Amino acid sequence: NAGVMQNPRHLVRRRGQEARLRCSPMKGHSHVYWYRQLPEEGLKFMVYLQKENIIDESGMPKERFSAEFPKEGPSILRIQQVVRGDSAAYFCASSGRGGDTDTQYFGPGTRLTVL
């Protein structure tokens, strides 16, 4: 009963380093979404991907952030030259069909701390 897997669960980086966050969707799901959450706030959409395609990246910062979902392997959210303001919990979700009526299932998140 493998759900959405994310690793690492906790990541500490110094300012200027790179952070790589991984997400393996639920078995059979081909739609992946990344969200960011600050303490005591809701989730803010970042990017929606299907295999080898970025469908909607309207929530991604224009610089330093990128995401991919290759044909094989997990989806990767990459943050280059991290700054303290990048510290947050990053959640990945997956769904089977995509679209506005499909339900997204979430992973446990990666908590990024930038020193």
Partner 1 sequence: TQLLEQSPQFLSIQEGENLTVYCNSSSVFSSLQWYRQEPGEGPVLLVTVVTGGEVKKLKRLTFQFGDARKDSSLHITAAQPGDTGLYLCAGGLSTNAGKSTFGDGTTLTVKP
Chain residues that interact with partner 1, rule: CB under 8 A: 4, 6, 31, 33, 35, 40-45, 48, 55-56, 58-59, 91, 93, 98-109, 111
Q: How far is the CB of 78 from partner 1 (least distance, A)?
A: 20
HSE-CB of 54 using CA atoms within 13 angstroms: 13
By beta-carbon proximity to partner 1, the closer residue of 90 and 114 is 90
Do 71 and 62 contact (CB within 8 A), yes or no? no
By beta-carbon proximity to partner 1, the closer residue of 25 and 107 is 107
